[in-house]
Structure 1
Amino acid sequence: MLNHVNIITVPKVVLVISILLSFFSEVLGVGKALAVTEFGENQFITIVNPVRISAYNPDPKLSLEAEYKEIRERNLPATWLLTSDVLEMEDLVGVIKGMDRNQELGIFLEVTPSSARKSNVSYYQTDSWHRASSLFLVGYQQQERRILIDSVFERFKAIFGYYPKSVGAWWVDSYSLQYMKEKYGIIANLGCSDQFLTDGYSIWGQPWSIPYYPSRFHAGMPARTLESKLDIVTLQWAPRDPINGYGDGRASTYSTQDYQINNLSIDYFANLVKLYVQKQRNLFGQVTLGLEADLSASVYSGLYGQHLDIIKKLQNEGVAEIVTMEKFSSWYRKEFPVLSPPHLIETDDLLGKRMKGLWYQSPNYRIGLIYEYDKEVTRLIDFRTYHDNFQEPFYVTPNRQNDLYINIPSVIDVVSLPESTWIFPLKQLVSIEGSRGNFSLRYESNQSINIEPAKVVLQNIDLKIPKMVTEAMTIKINNLAKTQEIVPAQSWPVGLEGLIIKDYPPQVLYLLDFNNLKQPKNVIRICLTFLFIGGIIFMTFRLRIVKRVHLTRLVLIILVISTLTVVLTRNYSYFISQAEVDALQKLQGLPEGKVVVYDHYCLRCPFHSTYLPRAFINRKDYVKNIGGKQVIYNRSVFEAVDKTRGRQELLSLGVRYVYLIKQEDYWEKLPFSFQDYGLKKLYENANAQIWEVR
Structure 2
Amino acid sequence: MTMKPHNQVNIINFIRGVEPRDPIDLIEPVREQLALVQKHGLPATWLLQYDALINPDFTSLLLQSADESQEIGVWLEVVQPLAEKAGIPWRGRFPWDWHAHIAFTVGYTPNERERIADVLMEDFKSVFGYYPKSVGSWFLDAHVLGYLSDKYGIQASCNCKDQWGTDGYTLWGGYYNQAYYPSRLNGFMPAQTKELQIPVPVFRMLGSDPIYQYDARLGGNGQSVITLEPVYSGAEGGGGIPNWVRWFLDVNFREEQVAFGYTQVGQENSFGWDLMKDGLVDQVEQLAKRQAAGELQVETLADSARWFKEQYPLTPASSIAALTDWREEGRQSVWFYNRFYRFNLLNNDGELWIRDIHLFDERYKERYLTETCPNKFSHYDTLPVVDSARWSEGDKPAGLRPVFYDQEGRVHPVTVQSVETDESVEGELAILISADGGETIRIRCSEQNICFTASSSAWGLELLWSDSSELPKMLLRNDEIQFAFHDHDYRVQVIGAESPVFLPDAGISCRAMGRDIILQF
- Contact 2:402/2:461, CA 8 A, preserved across alignment: no
| Residues 491-530 of structure 1: per-residue CA shift (max 9 Å, x gap) | xxxxxxxxxxxxxxxxxxxxxxxxxxxxxxxxxxxxxxxx
Query: How many Å apart are 1:112 and its aligned residue?
Result: 1.1
Q: Which of the numbers 363, 367, 385 marks the counterpart of 1:389?
A: 363
Match of 2:309 in 1: 333
Find out whether 1:312 has 2:278 as its counterpart. Answer: no
- Contact 1:42/1:284, CA 8 A, preserved across alignment: yes
Aligned length: 450
- Contact 1:67/1:300, CA 8 A, preserved across alignment: no
Match of 1:73 in 2: 39
Match of 1:463 in 2: 460
Match of 2:228 in 1: 256
Query: How many Å apart are 1:193 and its aligned residue?
Result: 0.8
- Contact 1:242/1:357, CA 8 A, preserved across alignment: yes
**What aligned pairs does 1:113-124 form with structure 2 within 5 A after superposition?**
113-124=80-91
| Residues 35-93 of structure 1: per-residue CA shift (max 9 Å, x gap) | x7xxxx41111100000122334433333222212222222110000011112111211
Instruction: Give the alignment's TM-score, normalised by structure 1.
Output: 0.62
Q: Which of the numbers 164, 168, 178 marks the counterpart of 2:132?
A: 164
Counterpart secondary structure, 1:101: coil
Relative distance call for 1:348 and 1:62 in structure 2 (3 A) is closer
Match of 1:91 in 2: 57
Query: How many Å apart are 1:350 and its aligned residue?
Result: 2.3
**What aligned pairs does 1:424-439 form with structure 2 within 5 A after superposition?**
424-425=402-403, 426-428=414-416, 431-435=420-424, 436-439=426-429
Matched letter for residue 46 of structure 1: N
Match of 1:139 in 2: 107
Matched letter for residue 362 of structure 1: N
Query: How many Å apart are 1:235 and its aligned residue?
Result: 1.1
Cα distance in 1 for partners of 2:120, 2:166 equals: 27
User: Which deviates more, 84-93 or 298-307?
Assistant: 298-307
Match of 2:48 in 1: 82
More strand by share: 2
Cα distance in 2 for partners of 1:50, 1:482 equals: 52
Matched letter for residue 119 of structure 1: A
Match of 2:260 in 1: 284
Matched letter for residue 42 of structure 1: H
Relative distance call for 1:90 and 1:405 in structure 2 (3 A) is same
Query: How many Å apart are 1:459 and its aligned residue?
Result: 2.1
Counterpart secondary structure, 1:416: helix
Query: How many Å apart are 1:465 and its aligned residue?
Result: 4.8
Query: How many Å apart are 1:210 and its aligned residue?
Result: 1.9
Match of 2:381 in 1: 407
Relative distance call for 1:428 and 1:64 in structure 2 (3 A) is closer
Q: Which of the numbers 435, 443, 452 marks the counterpart of 2:446?
A: 452
Relative distance call for 1:466 and 1:67 in structure 2 (3 A) is closer
Relative distance call for 1:188 and 1:357 in structure 2 (3 A) is same
Query: How many Å apart are 1:470 and its aligned residue?
Result: 2.9
Find out whether 1:345 has 2:317 as its counterpart. Answer: no
Q: Which of the numbers 164, 185, 199 marks the counterpart of 1:217?
A: 185
Cα distance in 2 for partners of 1:88, 1:344 equals: 40
1 or 2 for the larger relative contact order (CA 8 Å, sep ≥6)? 2
Relative distance call for 1:278 and 1:123 in structure 2 (3 A) is farther
Cα distance in 1 for partners of 2:88, 2:34 equals: 33
Matched letter for residue 138 of structure 2: W
Counterpart secondary structure, 2:269: coil
Cα distance in 1 for partners of 2:445, 2:162 equals: 22
Q: Which of the numbers 20, 44, 53 marks the counterpart of 2:8?
A: 44
Q: Which of the numbers 423, 426, 451 marks the counterpart of 2:401?
A: 423
| Residues 468-506 of structure 1: per-residue CA shift (max 9 Å, x gap) | 683434212222671222112xxxxxxxxxxxxxxxxxx
User: Which deviates more, 99-108 or 52-61?
Assistant: 52-61
Query: How many Å apart are 1:429 and its aligned residue?
Result: 5.3
Query: How many Å apart are 1:427 and its aligned residue?
Result: 4.5
Query: How many Å apart are 1:121 and its aligned residue?
Result: 1.3
Relative distance call for 1:113 and 1:319 in structure 2 (3 A) is same
Cα distance in 2 for partners of 1:210, 1:199 equals: 23
Cα distance in 1 for partners of 2:301, 2:150 equals: 19
Match of 2:493 in 1: 476
- Contact 1:188/1:326, CA 8 A, preserved across alignment: yes
Find out whether 1:152 has 2:120 as its counterpart. Answer: yes
- Contact 2:335/2:342, CA 8 A, preserved across alignment: yes
Relative distance call for 1:148 and 1:422 in structure 2 (3 A) is same
Instruction: Give the alignment's TM-score, normalised by structure 2.
Output: 0.81
| Residues 83-122 of structure 1: per-residue CA shift (max 9 Å, x gap) | 1111211121110101111100101001011211121112
Q: Which has the larger radius of gyration?
A: 1
Find out whether 1:441 has 2:431 as its counterpart. Answer: yes
Counterpart secondary structure, 1:462: strand
Match of 2:341 in 1: 365
Matched letter for residue 491 of structure 2: T
Matched letter for residue 292 of structure 1: E
Cα distance in 1 for partners of 2:128, 2:325 equals: 46
Cα distance in 1 for partners of 2:399, 2:444 equals: 19
User: Which deviates more, 241-250 or 327-336?
Assistant: 241-250
Counterpart secondary structure, 1:172: coil
Matched letter for residue 487 of structure 1: Q
- Contact 1:213/1:340, CA 8 A, preserved across alignment: no
Cα distance in 2 for partners of 1:318, 1:432 equals: 23
- Contact 1:64/1:294, CA 8 A, preserved across alignment: no
User: Which deviates more, 437-446 or 176-185?
Assistant: 437-446
Cα distance in 2 for partners of 1:125, 1:298 equals: 29
Match of 2:508 in 1: none
Cα distance in 1 for partners of 2:461, 2:253 equals: 38
More helix by share: 1
**RMSD, aligned CA:** 2.3
Relative distance call for 1:266 and 1:428 in structure 2 (3 A) is closer
Q: Which of the numbers 300, 315, 324 marks the counterpart of 2:300?
A: 324
Cα distance in 1 for partners of 2:337, 2:389 equals: 18
Structure 2 stretches lacking a partner, 5+ long: 404-413, 465-473, 475-479, 484-489, 498-513
Structure 1 stretches lacking a partner, 5+ long: 1-20, 22-32, 489-694
Matched letter for residue 440 of structure 1: A
Match of 2:142 in 1: 174
Find out whether 1:187 has 2:155 as its counterpart. Answer: yes
Counterpart secondary structure, 2:283: helix
Match of 1:487 in 2: 520
User: Which deviates more, 206-215 or 292-301?
Assistant: 292-301
Cα distance in 1 for partners of 2:298, 2:429 equals: 29
Relative distance call for 1:438 and 1:301 in structure 2 (3 A) is closer
User: Which deviates more, 235-244 or 412-421?
Assistant: 412-421
